[in-house]
A and B are shown apart, each in its own frame.
Chain A
Amino acid sequence: MHEYEELYIRWKRYRLKRKLLFLSLIVLATTLLSYLYLKTTKPTKLTKPKQNYTQDILLPSKEFEKKLSTTLPKKAYKKVKKHKQHKTKPLPKPKKEILLTQNTLDIESIKKEFEKNPQPSKALFIARYYYDKKQYKKSLLWSLKANELDKKSEESWLLFAKSLVKTGKRNKAIRLLQLYIRKSHSPQAKILLKDILTGAFR
């Protein structure tokens, strides 16, 4: 074999060695860099957040509250308000429950009192309560009770008529009011009748 043929084989070996050396250097450098990176980043993760966390949260939140009351534009305030309403939507349930229980307790106590001592004012109070709560059948019942106890109670007539309309008994309400107007000439009853007839009150 010619000496240059051998030389060519030696050169190929040399190139292979160089490539391997180059690759191992890259691997070594990458390993070293990643190790250094991890070494430098880990302590900051452990230490910095602890310090900054409290600072970042406590300090700006105080200022934020102050700014809310003083510097926030109206639009932004409205948005927050809306957001709050949206957020508190699930909350009304317990509120309602509380109110209802309180009110039911009140209503129940009034009802008990009414049972003990039936008075038209108590029946009218309950009727008014149910009418406001749009429980028209109940308001119809209790306004009738109030009317039975006191036929002259105009409010019981009007509340009864309104409850009739609300329960879909518009014609009956009209006939009732016409009857009442004939007897009492109540202007309030006339206005209500007119509203029912014109459709202003539905």
Chain B
Amino acid sequence: MSSIYKRAKTAFIDSNEAQDFVKLDTNIFYLEKLKELLEKPFKFVVVYGEPGVGKTMLLKRVVHEKGDTKLIPYFKPFFSKEEMERAFCKDLFGNEEIDLLSSLNTLEDFSKTIILDEAQLYDVEILEFIRVIADTKKVRFILVMHQNQDEELMAKEHFKTRIYENIAIKPPTKKELLIYIHKRLFAYELVELANTITKTQSDYIYRFTHGNLRLSNKFLFTLFDLLEYFEANHPSLTNTTKIDKKFLEMSAIHLGYIDA
């Protein structure tokens, strides 16, 4: 049983890999929406939401599903305009040393889409640089940013007239969280364990994480880590047929959701 809990833990290691993307009703909607938008002529699309809601994974999934070279994602932020410029030159033209703005004219209109994650971190100088590139209509941008940051407001203000669409990513509902947990466990062939997770237990987790996938992953990882430990050291406290509420409560205490 402890090996099952060990595998379950790995199912909830927080990764933003495209293959870990779990298709939920809302996720599918955002995924299809972004795929549709890629067929349209835009300068900027802004994807925003709370940290940990699944924005990065969604964009990685888009890139994974589209599978073409027109999409150039940057999931790590740049810390200077020069660094960004070099990266764009390399990825667009295969040469870091060329002049970017003059080289862009050689491209077809909206032939390349650059995805910039953590766009809320960029200052005015970098934002202005991005705007200039977008105005050439050769390259367009999908900006991914946090919802509740001042930077987000600054970026949105900066590109206000050029933003084609804002996509607000909402956390999964209670029902979706249960589906998410089940699907993640199914993906790791832990069907029996998935069946022991009830809606009540999922709702209990939702109470603390509000559906935030990063926080939910952390909660579930802690839960299975606890189960693994107690299965090995205090087997009498665990039940093979169901997950006792005490482990959920202990997870909540351990993560600081409950002050005990």
Name A's B-contacting residues (CB within 8 A): 2, 4, 7-8, 10-11, 13-15, 17
Contacts and interface: CB of A to CB of B under 8 A. Distances in A.
Contacts of B226: 4, 7
Contacts of B246: 11, 15
B260 A14 contact: yes
B254 interface: yes
B96 interface: no
Contacts of B253: 7, 10-11, 14
B260 A8 contact: no
B92 to A, nearest CB: 50
B63 to A, nearest CB: 39
Which secondary structure dominates where chain A touches chain B?
A: helix
A7 B233 CA distance: 14
The 4 closest A-B pairs by CB, nearest first: A14-B260, A11-B250, A10-B260, A4-B229
Contacts of B254: 7
A197 B258 CA distance: 115
Nearest to A14: B260
Contacts of A17: 260
Contacts of A11: 246, 249-250, 253, 260
A4 B251 CA distance: 10
Contacts of B237: 8
Interface in B226-254: 226, 229-230, 233-234, 237, 246, 249-250, 253-254
Contacts of A7: 226, 250, 253-254
11 contacts: A2-B229, A4-B226, A4-B229, A7-B250, A8-B234, A8-B250, A10-B253, A11-B250, A11-B253, A14-B249, A15-B249
A10 B229 CA distance: 16
Given A8-B237, A11-B250, 13 more contacts: A2-B229, A4-B226, A7-B226, A7-B250, A8-B250, A10-B250, A10-B260, A11-B253, A11-B260, A14-B249, A14-B258, A15-B246, A15-B249
A192 B78 CA distance: 149
A17 B246 CA distance: 14
B137 to A, nearest CB: 57
A8 B229 CA distance: 11
A14 B258 CA distance: 9
B230 A4 contact: yes
B106 to A, nearest CB: 59
A7 B260 CA distance: 9
Contacts of A14: 249, 253, 258, 260
Contacts of B249: 11, 14-15
A11 to B, nearest CB: 5
A14 B229 CA distance: 20
Interface in B88-103: none
A4 B193 CA distance: 22
Contacts of B234: 8
A8 B244 CA distance: 13
A191 B88 CA distance: 156
A6 to B, nearest CB: 10
A9 to B, nearest CB: 10
Contacts of B229: 2, 4
A10 B234 CA distance: 16
A89 to B, nearest CB: 76
A13 B234 CA distance: 18
Nearest to A4: B229
B238 to A, nearest CB: 12
Nearest to A10: B260
A114 B229 CA distance: 127
A95 B229 CA distance: 101
